[in-house]
Structure 1
Amino acid sequence: MGALLISTIARIELDDDALHHVFSVIVTKLRRREPVLLNWTDEHGMPEFVLVNPTTEVTATYDDHDLGELDPHRLQRLMVQANSNAGLCLDAAMERNTG
């Protein structure tokens, strides 16, 4: 399990593969100087949202040094979410289904 650290606002645990894909999407958006809305469900089942902008510090920490390759279909699906009004759902990012 890796972790996505968003400034001092949030720490979200994701498996390394999901984190690798999510972090890639976030970095792409921020390099374009575009904000990205992230949403997830906390440990109590409550929805959480954070709007990450290009000045927000975002860090990914991984458990495994071998991250594997990025799946272009999964990246495309996550980027579509990131560009939507609802934002990038980290819960859905954990799902490996590329369909």
Structure 2
Amino acid sequence: MGRLTYDGTIKVDFDDRVLAHLQLVIGAKIRRGESFHFSWRDDPSVGDGRTVVWIHPASNLSYKYYGSKQPAINRRWLEDLTTSANSAGGLHLVPEPSEAVAEDAP
């Protein structure tokens, strides 16, 4: 389980594999100077609602991984997440598609 921290105040836990994919998608958009919404469903322990944050190049983000191994990256999932991030609704988690061979993370 990993943790994404936004602006030092919003902390959300994701599986390390999910977090690795989010980091790549978010990083690519920030590198290009693109801003977007990122939303996720909250854990029932914090109200079972939904949180939305505005990600922009000056966002204060940190990614904390609790596993020692870097997860394999599913390129198809990166494409699906990027498509989501580029949509009017912004980035949200979409199911991971199957991929014959997941590649090692760069």
Interval of TM-score (by shorter of Structure 1 and Structure 2): 0.7 to 0.9
Task: Find the counterpart in structure 2 of residue 26 from structure 1.
Answer: 26
Q: Which runs of 5+ in 1 are unaligned?
A: none
For the pair 1:57 / 2:60, whether they are aligned, the reply is yes
Task: Find the counterpart in structure 2 of residue 48 from structure 1.
Answer: 51
Matches within 5 A, 1:1-99: 1-43=1-43, 44-90=47-93, 92=94, 95-98=95-98
Greater relative CO, 1 or 2 (CA 8 Å, sep 6+): 1
Q: Would you say how many aligned residue pairs link Structure 1 and Structure 2?
A: 96
Q: TM-score, normalised by structure 2?
A: 0.82
Give the structure with higher Rg (CA).
2
Q: TM-score, normalised by structure 1?
A: 0.87
The RMSD of aligned alpha carbons is 1.6
**4+ runs of 1 displaced by more than 2 Å?**
95-99
Indicate the percent of aligned positions where both proteins have the same amino acid: 27
Q: Give secondary structure in 2 for the equivalent of 1:97.
A: coil
